[in-house]
Amino acid sequence: MSVEIEERSAGFWFVRGMGGIFSLPALILMVSFVGFSAYAFEAGLTRGEAVFMTVTIWALPAKMILVGMMASGANIAACFLAVTLSSIRMMPMVASLMPEIRTEKTPTWVLLFLSHFIAITAWVFTMQHVGAVPRERRVAYFAGFGITLTLSNTALVAVCYGLVASFPPLVAGALFFLTPVYFVASIWATARQTAVRIAFAIGIVAGPLFAVLTPGLDILIAGIGGGTLAYLIDRFAIRGRRRAVAEDLR
């Protein structure tokens, strides 16, 4: 890395991070947030509620789960637990990204603040590009991208919420369907462990089933039950078979 690049100011790298808003992952996410606007509108949320949800919860799957449970009439405790369990999956992303961007001089409060902006799109984009950024400027780079991505989509939800009502039914339906498609595709594409893929497959089947059997608690039961079952299958069936094969080869 040249001396000239290393001497660039934090402001330069913040602006460079902001430029990531024009990347393909960011654009796909923005289109998906247009779909979320349609979803929020159809679910009966007000514009203010949709905007507040975007800037505070941020992660699109968590918002989808919350709106879906609210629309199904689930109580607040079930909604809280489901969104919390959904957001726990961000912890490995935070744990893997923070060591890549922080330095010994980075204040803890800055890292805590920036952790709010870590979701699938921000994590994938930053991990792909942060290696080319000087370590002293990586916090500024991620801040530029994460904050810009969040505020841009918040503004997009505010604007598009009022527009989706005037869309033709076919267009509104397509946008409404786009968000769950992005949700499903992004989870499958970013899954790196067998247990995650097994849990995904179980959830696809268990979600609709429990929606009929236990409406209001379907996401919570399918999530906890499917995740636990996937872990047991991976731990005792798949890993156990691999260990047995490895022992036979010795």
Q: Are 168 and 42 in contact (CB under 8 A)?
A: no
Taking the C-alpha atoms of residue 222 and residue 217, their distance in angstroms, rounded to an integer, is 8
**What six digits make up the tokens of 44?**
């009966």
**End-to-end Cα, the chain, rounded Å:** 46
Tell me the per-residue pLDDT of 183-208, one tens digit each, with 9 for 90 and over. Answer: 677 667 666 677 778 888 888 888 88
Of 193, 32, 47, the residue nearest 121 (C-alpha): 32
Average pLDDT over residues 16-21: 92
Q: In the structure, what pLDDT confidence band is assigned to residue 139 with cuts at 50, 70 and 90?
A: very high
Report the distance separating Cα 40 and Cα 66, nearest Å.
10
Do residues 94 and 118 lie in contact, with contact meaning Cβ atoms separated by under 8 Å? Answer: yes
**What pLDDT score was predicted for residue 113?**
94
Least confident of 105-114, 146-155, 166-175: 166-175
